[in-house]
Amino acid sequence: MKRQALQSSLVLGVLSSTMFLNPLAMVQAQPSQGELFARNVTFVPPNGDRPKDSQGGASRDDGKCPQDDKALNPYLTAVVPANVQRLTLQSQPSIFVYIPQTTAKKAFFSLQDHKNGQHYQTFLPLEKKGGIVKVDLPADAPSLVVGNDYQWSFVMLCGDKLLPDDPAVTGTIRRVNPGENVTSQLKDWQQNPSLEKADLLGKAGLWYDMLTVLMALKREQPNNVQLNSIWSNVLQASNLDSIATKPIIARK
């Protein structure tokens, strides 16, 4: 018995010394995604001129259809910060809109260039439940020209036809060339999203691209508390408190 006890003590001593000398043995036992959520994401507004629409998120009229629940709040909202340029690196970027629970069955999305010419337009189906949606410009849509300003509009059709008084939100977008720092560190940010890349995009003032990465991560891990908190903090810091905790809806 004494011999067995001595052998057990020696084994425990070897294991303890091994873990002490090699702390990575303990770290590697932790979930590999733990480090992903140890970071914050910060949006730094870019320097320069302000867009034509100085308000972020504001909707035309009351942002809901006449037949919708009057108690619904918030209403149709553009997921953009106010008083800053909203930039992207993408030739066919993604736009973000909060849609309330509505009876409207479809929406009209359009993008105009700096000369008020029609760049792209389409009709989109709507879900009955409310939430934040991502509107992707398809690969066959005309590419945004670097340095040009564009204005997008998102309109909910309350009836069968598009009418002037249908609730709508608008926003601006400008495509830019990446800086050297962004180019070297973010070559594959769309294929391999991470919080580190979202933070780099945010600090470079690339609002739409930062949200694209964060939404991709949220869709991969919808129940991750830390990731959801980071998403909410980013929106709250841009005065989008009313939609900061709203769900994300994947369009069909």
Cβ burial 67-95 (10 Å sphere, 16+ → b, else e): ebeeebebbbbbbbbbebbbbbbbebbbb
Q: State which fold the 45-243 domain adopts.
A: Immunoglobulin-like (2.60.40)
**Tens digit of each residue's pLDDT (9 = 90 or more) over 189-199:** 777 889 999 99
Judged against a pLDDT cut of 60, whether residue 241 lies above it is answered with yes
Which pLDDT value is given to residue 237?
94
Rounded to two decimals, what is the model's pTM?
0.80
Q: Sorting pLDDT into bands at 50, 70 and 90, what band is 51?
A: low
User: HSE-up of 223 (CA within 13 Å, CB side)?
Assistant: 0
Contact 124, 107 (CB under 8 A): yes
DSSP three-state, residue 25: helix
Least confident of 49-63, 77-91, 108-122, 188-202: 49-63
CA-CA distance, 231 to 236, in Å (whole number)?
A: 9
Q: Looking at per-residue confidence, does 56 or 228 come out higher?
A: 228
How is the chain split into domains, by residue range?
45-243
